Amino acid sequence: MTVLTTFIGTSNHGFAQYAQDEIRKLFPAAKFSLIVPTEVFWFQVPPETENALGTLLEQEPIFLRHLQPVHQTWEHTSSEEDLRQVQVWLREAHAAGLAGAHEKIAVQIRKDERVQLPYAPFAMKAALDEVIAGELGAEPVVRYADKIISVYIGAKTLYIGISRPADNLSDWSGGAIRFMKEEDQISRAKFKLLEAEQRFGIDFSVARTALDVGAAPGGWTSLLLERGLKVTAIDPAAMSPKLQGHPKLTILKKNAGDVKLRNDEFDLLVCDMSWDPRQMGRLVADLLYALQSGGTAIITVKLMHKKPFQTVRDILRILEPSLFLLKAKQLFHNREELTLYLQKL
Ligand SMILES: C[S@@+](CC[C@H](N)C(=O)[O-])C[C@H]1O[C@@H](n2cnc3c(N)ncnc32)[C@H](O)[C@@H]1O
């Protein structure tokens, strides 16, 4: 088995070049090759690089949604023979100590949509699961795995690797985290906050009072209410009738620039205003007197000018006198935007 210096990176559609820029900053001699334009790419850091994975995890690139290790590559046959070859690889990986008995092992197969294969990706998962259960004495699982076997089937090449879920940045295949749409869900925007909760490991229940700026129609507000918080929602637009009269909700049907709040009234501030980032930053900065010291903020930042790093720098310059950045990440449910997670000093 080779030393781990080769990976497949995945970003949201249209953002791979930014993820590559961030990786190049960490490893100036890294080599890249696109697998799916603007979205999926192979990269390799120089073989002498020490602990490339550790560096990527510690200084996680904003636009890198998912990372999968490449332990081996070969030219696939585009036939059922591929299924046998991945089984052979897994036996060898097991012999080399990469996959152990009694482990819970998930298999994630992705392929370039342009590649035609005579078998479904699921058949490859079944072939690997057969070896996991039958020969390794391990347990095939879908979620909550100890290890993930990641396969990517490109135009000609098959890439395979095995890793701990945390090393992939997301335990969802390609980082494409899915939530069940609820029957009475107020807005799809709720998925963004659900994803932020998971990705940043936030326990909303430790907060008691939240300010939701740009709250209508109320997807984020509904999640915070479900988590037991008291919420003040600000928006000149109407909140969903499903939320009206909720005992823990105060609605201020106003522009956020026109509200008067009490000092240190909230321990969480969220803002999902689809607005010019600098104006939004100034508006949020003017409301920070209402956020307690140690309180946190989750803010989506619209990427309007195709200069995302400059946009992040600009908005942090506005917010950083009072807030410090815990994490910036483009989430799977972010479209032309990214999410900041900050804390008040
Ligand atoms: C993308 S929507 C928010 C969706 C919401 N997070 C949800 O989960 O349903 C953006 C909202 O920001 C509001 N907004 C824009 N500018 C605002 C301002 N200056 N003050 C308050 N709200 C504003 C808009 O009226 C709009 O309802």
Task: List the pLDDT tens digit at each of the 345 positions of the chain.
Answer: 446 799 999 999 999 999 999 999 999 999 999 999 999 999 999 988 889 999 999 999 999 999 999 999 999 999 999 999 999 999 999 999 998 889 999 999 999 999 999 999 999 999 999 999 999 999 999 999 999 999 999 999 999 999 999 999 999 999 999 999 999 999 999 999 999 999 999 999 999 999 999 999 999 999 999 999 999 999 999 999 999 999 999 999 999 999 999 999 999 999 999 889 999 999 999 999 999 999 999 999 999 777 999 999 999 999 998 999 999 999 999 999 999 999 999
Contact 113, 37 (CB under 8 A): no
Dist CA 251 CA 216 (whole Å): 10
Q: Is 312 in the pocket of ligand 1 (CB under 6 A)?
A: no
Q: Is the CB of 269 under 6 A from ligand 1?
A: no
Nearest CA to ligand 1 atom 2: 273
* CATH class (in words) of the domain with range 6-175: alpha beta
CA–centroid distance for 317 within its chain: 24
Ligand 1 in reach of 187 Cβ (< 6 A) = yes
In this structure, is the dihedral angle defined by the CA atoms of residues 255, 258, 264 and 265, taken in order, positive or negative?
negative
Which amino acid does the sequence have at 117? L
> From CA 215, how far away is CA 222, in angstroms rounded?
10
Structural contact between residues 102 and 138, judged by C-beta atoms closer than 8 angstroms: yes
Tokens of 336: 């032309």
**Using only C-alpha atoms, what is the Rg of the chain?**
23
Q: Is residue 82 within 8 Å of residue 128, measured between CB atoms?
A: no
Burial of 191 (0-12, 13-18, 19+ CB in 10 A): buried
User: Do 326 and 296 contact (CB within 8 A), yes or no?
Assistant: yes
Catalytic residue status for 31: no
Residue 67: both structure tokens together: 């990372």
- The protein residue with its alpha carbon nearest to ligand 1, atom 11, reads 214
Domain residues of the chain, as ranges?
A: 6-175, 190-344
- Which CB contacts under 8 angstroms, 24+ apart, belong to 47-50? 47/3, 47/5, 49/5
For residues 87 and 160, what is the distance between their CA atoms, to the nearest angstrom?
A: 11
- Pocket lining: 162 vs ligand 1, CB cutoff 6 Å: no
Closest ligand 1 atom, CA of 193? 8
Tell me which of 2.60.120.380, 1.20.1600.10, 1.10.10.10, 3.40.50.150 is the CATH number of domain 190-344. Answer: 3.40.50.150
CA of 78 to the centre of ligand 1 (A): 49
Give dist(CA 312, CA 310) in Å, integer: 5
